[in-house]
A = this chain, B = another copy of it.
Amino acid sequence: MKSNKEVTIYDIAASLGLSPSTVSRALKNNPGVKKETKKIINEAAQKMGYRHNKFASNLRLKRTHTLGVIVPKLNSYFMATAITGIESAASRFGYNLIITNSLESTKKEAEGVNTLYNSRVDGLIVSLAYDTDNIKHFDIVFKKDIPVIFFDRVIENKGCAKVIIDNFKAGYEIVNHLISQGCRKIMHVGGNLLRNVYKDRLLGYRKALEENGIAYDESLVIINDLSDKSGVEIAKKILRMKEPPDAVFTANDTTAVSIILHLKKAGLSIPKDIAVAGFNNEPISRVIEPNLTTVHYPAFEVGEIAATTLINMLDSNRNAYLSSIILKHELIIRESTLKNTMQEQGPGIETISKELKSI
């Protein structure tokens, strides 16, 4: 019994001797309809195989209940987890998601903005591409007052809300920890300084050095794409150095792991010869030996809160004065940086503190 004819509100109305508007109201559970009538209508709708037509509805209401998402990649643990969080919140509130992938390219990012704009998404959730240096390509949505929320990789911008962690503090803490382990010559591997996440981590690094009377040495700071491959190159570079560092703080886990693997292959011992710390607390950080010291980034929560916040703005029209939501990170100390106490990893080492601090 296949039928390609769609059942409409009119069909239901006709079959019940009612008017389309009553049917429409009943279907939306509008209080101004008798309970009995509602029941009859809903049953008829069910039986006749009615389904709500979003297009007609959207066309009338000029709302789509759809959120657009633009991310620089999909297949990293962090992003996939953040999207899981976004999806979770969105589906809880009856919103759909359209996801586009900028593949770290500003051009594709701009295309994404256009696509989503044309799909009439109600709002946008964005993490910026690696080297996007301005957000002119978002003007089209700003002009139409479509709210945009940035997460993780954000940009200073008049009045766009952002969901982030305190990258400065996290960088500061991790370097302080390294120093507490006796490290004095600490290399930093980061990403494009246009991106807050990398800039702030670097600033935290500098601050920690400064506070501990260690001179900042530019030659110890390497900026690259934080890929696997870059990790190999950095390891090679370290091996060539006359006076290699006694620690490396890398702005992500993938590269840190890659560095460890290659230093080990060359016969170095981690953390004895060089301590290594990463960032993000990806699963890989618990597999590498020694286990990687890192910063837990609450990816799921970041996504969930970004979506929830956006939906709140949409549903209440008070998108006014929200600026930043900062989630707590946690420093996770594991063997890869424990120079002093080379104990077994055990419970108690990993500190836990999850709370939401919003400003």
Q: Which residues of A contact B (CB under 8 A)?
A: 1-4, 51-56, 58-59, 64, 66, 73-77, 79-81, 83-84, 87-88, 91, 96-101, 115, 117-120, 143-145, 228, 254, 257, 261, 283-284, 286-289
Q: Which of B99, B118, B257 makes the CB contact (< 8 A) with A51?
A: B118
Which chain B residues border A144 with CB–CB below 8 Å? 2, 4
**Given the complex of chains A and B, what is the CA–CA distance between A51 and B115 in angstroms?**
11
- A52 cross-chain contacts in B, Cβ below 8 A: 118
A51 CA to B121 CA, complexed, in Å: 13
B96 touches A84 (CB 8 A): no
Question: Which of chain B's residues have a CB closer than 8 A to the CB of A97?
Answer: 98-99
Knowing that A55-B55, A88-B101, A96-B98 touch, tell me 9 more A-B residue pairs with CB under 8 angstroms.
A1-B143, A54-B120, A55-B56, A55-B64, A56-B59, A75-B77, A99-B99, A284-B284, A287-B287
The 9 tightest CB contacts between A and B, nearest first, are A75-B80, A80-B80, A55-B59, A55-B58, A74-B84, A55-B55, A75-B81, A75-B84, A287-B287
Report Cα–Cα, A261/B281, bound state, in Å.
17
Contact partner, A91, options B4, B100, B289, Cβ 8 Å: B100
Q: How far is the CB of A205 from chain B (nearest CB, A)?
A: 25
Q: Which residue of B lies closest to A98 (CB)?
A: B96
- Say whether, besides A118-B51, A144-B4, A101 and B80 are in contact (CB < 8 Å): no
Shortest distance from the beta carbon of A107 to any chain B beta carbon, whole Å: 13
Say yes or no: A257 contacts B80, CB within 8 Å: no
Bound CA span A287–B117, Å: 41
B2, B88, B91, B283: which contacts A143 (Cβ < 8 A)? B2
Interfacial chain B residues near A4, Cβ < 8 Å: 144-145
Tell me how far the C-beta of A17 lies from the nearest C-beta in chain B, rounded to whole angstroms.
Answer: 27
Q: What is the CA–CA distance of A54 and B119 in the complex, to the nearest angstrom?
A: 7
Residues of B within 8 A of A119 (CB): 54, 96
In the complex formed, the residue of B with least CB distance to A142 is B2
**Which residue of B80, B98, B289 is within 8 Å of A76 (Cβ)?**
B80
In the bound complex, residues from chain B placing their C-beta under 8 Å from that of A99 are: 87, 97, 99
Q: In the bound complex, do residue A98 and residue B98 qualify as a contact, i.e. CB atoms below 8 Å apart?
A: yes
Complex Cα spacing A84 to B83, Å: 13
Contact A287 B257 (CB under 8 A): yes
Chain B residues whose CB sits within 8 angstroms of the CB of A56 once the complex forms? 55, 59
Residues of chain B lying within 8 A (CB to CB) of residue A145: 2, 4
**Contact of A96 with B115 at beta-carbon distance under 8 Å, contacts A88-B101, A284-B283, A287-B287 already known:** yes
- Select which of B118, B120, B287 is within 8 A of A288 by beta carbon: B287
Select the residue from A52, A79, A99 with max chain B CB neighbours within 10 A: A99
B residues near A75, Cβ cutoff 8 Å: 77, 80-81, 83-84
In whole Å, how far is A67's beta carbon from the nearest beta carbon of chain B? 11
Q: How far is the CA of A145 from the CA of B6 in the complex (A)?
A: 13
